[in-house]
Chains A and B, each alone.
Chain A
């Protein structure tokens, strides 16, 4: 296809000048951040980047393909345990464990996805919940058999003498992985696959009447999403130098679901916003909890649970389009206040 054709323009990620400027500005900020942030802020940024990968994966599956999954924590655990077991048993380096986690993720995605061929809606959510418990059991069983009361320790990954252990090094590594996940998500979403997924989400009978191979695209959604989630789990294991099954409770799944709800279902920037919101939320609660009466000191986690539940409920009831919905509304009301001529120029 010739460059400059309308279709190529449509496909170009950074087609317009404004977009290129915005991207350059964002990159500059992201690159400068680790050099000005305190270690604590850097750790927060790393956690957000890690969560972004999982949130994007769940957004592809639930937000775009409309397939409900309660298996995020199970898949993260599978990725983390893949690293843990390989490192402990054979001392595998990270360039073996990460692909292994990806392959395991794809395989589990296939298994998690098989029920989706026969079930949908509620029943699908339940079967992924069942698989969550199976994965968590297998991890716990490994810990019990190896008598690891504290979980599996994992050394930081190293490449020819350079060890990935400082917060700053991790920041750039995680930024690269998150950017890759973002690129994959954006490209899938705006290509034939993404259109097929959206058709599936709206009505799968219509989708199949339009000639979309429903089974193939459903399984594909599960496999892509599970692979990304498992890799995120593997990175989590290396990032924390430590794997323990206690980290992968059902609450973790709820947190990832909250990310895509709060961010805004069916929106890729929404997944990123939601990841940031959910990761930073407990720290905000902690700051507020300092002003609460003595009785509630050292109960931050309970306050966190309660507040988190309230926020999720409020978003589901009042703003189902999430933070992205609020942002769109603000932008529209701002744009409407400007001259209508500006609006029509933007549309062009």
Chain B
């Protein structure tokens, strides 16, 4: 495998890792699988299109504003929709996220049409290739994605490990009953988890939009990041990062050596293999898995 391939794997893995944090956060805290995550990521990218249109002279303001919109969107999704699903069957909660995904898909086309947007061009930014090693180049936006993924992972680790809200979130994930008896407000914790989840997804969507534009098919990338989360173990952030590497390596290798059409299937093939051998993932907690 040449160095360029390695670089491609790292970039793709960074995208998957960044998106899959959202799956892990929500699942770890509230045991809900959010199948609308890809659509939420896409809407996050579209927020950047809107703010870039408003503040094209001030990219930083536009980026921050769009990221904040992403955060608020997640909290709203929980408060308006998912709050009513706490305590309901797993099936109902998954179905409602599927319905939400369809709704967001329709709304985003109604608001932003099916046209492809390039927020980078709206800022007047170019996306030059960067030489990261001799003979190896990736786009500047891709490099930004890799750096941002590392920052987000460190940030989330510190947040979950050391801050008050992080501890509350872990407690709620371990035992909602005990957490609530200790005075942790579960609804607030779940709302924060959803907000953070869509925040990271929006960051991923925004950077992808800066790299290669945004259109209504972006949601698929979000769905392909799901196997990464599951391979690593749905409740482990470290697992999600390693799962993302495995899935990305398998995907790039399949595209390079077998058949480019395989690109959409490989993540799910990896997922099926892992489900057959080790369904709780590489780093997931085994006892909590809903298994026969």
Contact = CB atoms under 8 A, between A and B. Distances in A.
B269 interface: yes
Given A120-B290, A141-B261, A313 B100 contact: yes
Contact of A137 (B98, B262, B275): B262
Interface string B18-44: 000000000000000100000000000
B121 interface: no
A200 to B, nearest CB: 11
A140 B271 contact: no
A102 to B, nearest CB: 24
Interface residues of B, number: 41
Given A296-B110, A313-B96, A316-B95, A122 B276 contact: no
Contact of B103 (A122, A127, A313): A313
A40 to B, nearest CB: 25
A320 B89 CA distance: 11
A203 B270 CA distance: 30
B92 interface: yes
Given A68-B91, A123-B275, A316-B92, A299 B109 contact: yes
A118 B90 contact: no
Interface string B251-279: 00000000101101100110110011001
B182 interface: no
B38 to A, nearest CB: 10
A308 B8 CA distance: 38
A122 B94 contact: yes
Contacts of B269: 130, 134
Nearest to A114: B276
A204 B292 contact: yes
A220 B107 CA distance: 40
A316 to B, nearest CB: 5
A122 B290 contact: yes
B291 interface: yes
Contacts of A87: none
Given A137-B262, A309-B100, A312-B95, A130 B110 contact: no
B230 interface: yes
A117 B291 CA distance: 9
A269 interface: no
Interface of B, secondary structure class, is helix
B5 interface: no
A147 interface: no
A261 B265 contact: no
Contacts of A36: none
A32 B92 CA distance: 40
A310 interface: yes
A305 interface: yes
Interface in A120-163: 120-123, 125-127, 129-131, 133-134, 137, 140-141, 144
Contact of A309 (B99, B261, B275): B99
A303 B106 contact: yes
B105 interface: yes
A29 interface: no
A257 B109 contact: no
29 contacts: A118-B291, A119-B291, A120-B290, A120-B291, A122-B33, A123-B290, A125-B91, A126-B226, A127-B271, A127-B275, A130-B227, A134-B272, A137-B261, A137-B262, A137-B265, A214-B292, A254-B99, A299-B110, A305-B103, A306-B105, A306-B106, A308-B102, A309-B102, A309-B106, A312-B98, A312-B102, A313-B81, A316-B95, A317-B81
Top 9 closest pairs, chain A to chain B, by CB: A309-B103, A305-B106, A306-B106, A312-B99, A302-B109, A130-B268, A309-B102, A137-B265, A133-B268
Interface of A: 62, 68, 115, 117-123, 125-127, 129-131, 133-134, 137, 140-141, 144, 204, 214, 251, 254, 257-258, 261, 296, 299, 301-310, 312-313, 316-317, 320
